[in-house]
Amino acid sequence: MTDLEELHREMTAWRHDLHAHPEFGFEEKRTAAFVAEKLRAFGVEVADGIGGTGVVGTLTRGSGNRAIALRADMDALRIAEQGTAAYRSQTPGTMHACGHDGHTAMLLGAAKLLADEGGFDGTVRFIFQPAEEWGRGALAMLEDGLIERFPFEEIFGLHNMPGLPIGHFETRSGPVMSAEDNFEIVVKGLGGHAARPHAGRETLVAACALVLNLQTIVSRRLSPADIGVVSVTELITDGTRNALPGLARILGDCRSFRPEVSAAIEKEMRRIAEGTAQAYNVAAEVTYTREFVPLINDAALVDEALAAARDLLADDAVGVAAEPMTASEDFARFLNEVPGCFVFMGNGNSAPLHNPSYDFNDEGLLHGARFHAAIVRRRLPLG
């Protein structure tokens, strides 16, 4: 049997190494090489360069013909770390502010556990995905033939969650995390002197009115039964202290859980932009893109994931999440192809995700690795 204390020490060392050397999406060359080296040392078959910098490990035991996948994300964020740990980021302006270093270390730990101990009959795919943070990595791996080249019937993933106690797991069936759409509205007019607004068609007042009008999409245009968020995050003009702008850019994002709601938000945004622009005698151009799709858990596999967690932990440490989150997750792309389940794991009282002071809590590493192994043994049972 694996010495779990020694495994925890190893995973902690791996995690600290990864944390000290963060890499942005599709730049994870060192991280991918680190992962591939460890997997090969465990006796796991490795394919790298999948979808750019993705890595897939394959481990087969017994004669079973079923295959399942476990996924971890590897990329970091463009955030300057404010932490003071000895293993803090050595890459200026980039850090693991979302715990992907911990996710990678936990999946490596699970690979080592399963390679050493077995306890399952079939094939496991260990998917180490690039570029989750900007919603491109899963799609890149899929477009590179992930499922055709490394077939699997279902997939499981997990994410650490600050505020949830260490050793606690939770998830829910159905909608778990939202879609994310991005938009940019360019308002065009005719700038001029701040003392002579009547001589031009300045865009700032129109843009401000448009920002306010966009808030009616959720409050007045969507059904109260639907969840939707429309957030303006930037307003940029080409004006200056004594010059009225002739161009303004409004940027933001939208969240929803159903394609119909996403389509309704876009439709109403275009209608409001056109009408507001006409009222202020300017023009408005809307660019609307869909970056993340909704993450929808399979109900039966949620039950299996919660049961696997209860095999390891007390019942009161495993629960059903009360409501979906309006954050987004690239794992959702895999769930468009095969059924699966995404689980949240406690990170204790750490700083929030995407905060410059955030750090993954090493106390959770063994819980995550053992959960991954438990779901494999439950879904690919011996005999």
Domain range summary for the chain, segments of one domain joined by +: 4-177+294-379, 179-292
Residue 317 region by backbone torsions, left for phi larger than 0, else alpha for psi between -120 and 50, else beta = alpha
Low-confidence ranges of the chain (pLDDT < 50): none
Per-residue pLDDT at 14: 99
Q: Cα separations (Å) of 280 from 177, 205, 274, 317?
A: 38, 8, 10, 57
CATH number of 4-177+294-379: 3.40.630.10
Residue owning tokens 């943070």: 133
Q: Who contacts 52 (Cβ-Cβ below 8 Å, separation ≥6)? A: 26, 130, 131, 137, 140, 144
Burial class (CB in 10 A: 0-12, 13-18, 19+), 6: exposed
179-292 CATH pick, 3.30.1490.190, 3.30.70.580, 3.30.70.360, 3.30.110.30: 3.30.70.360
- Tokens 């690239």 belong to 330
Reported for 80-89, long-range contacts at CB under 8 A and 24+ positions apart, including other chains, are: 80/356, 81/356, 82/356, 82/357, 83/356, 83/357, 83/358, 83/359, 85/16, 85/19, 85/359, 86/16, 87/16, 87/17, 87/19, 87/20, 88/19, 88/20, 89/19, 89/20, 89/21, 89/22
Q: Give the model's pLDDT for residue 322.
A: 79
Q: What is the pTM of this model?
A: 0.94
Note the pLDDT tens digit of each residue in 239-252: 999 999 999 999 99
pLDDT digits (tens, 9 = 90+) for 98-129: 999 999 999 999 999 999 999 999 999 999 99
The whole-angstrom separation of Cα 21 and Cα 166 is 25
Between the CA of residue 332 and those of 4, 71, 121, 138, 341, what are the distances in Å? 32, 12, 27, 8, 10
Of 67, 66, 48, 65, the residue nearest 56 (C-alpha): 48
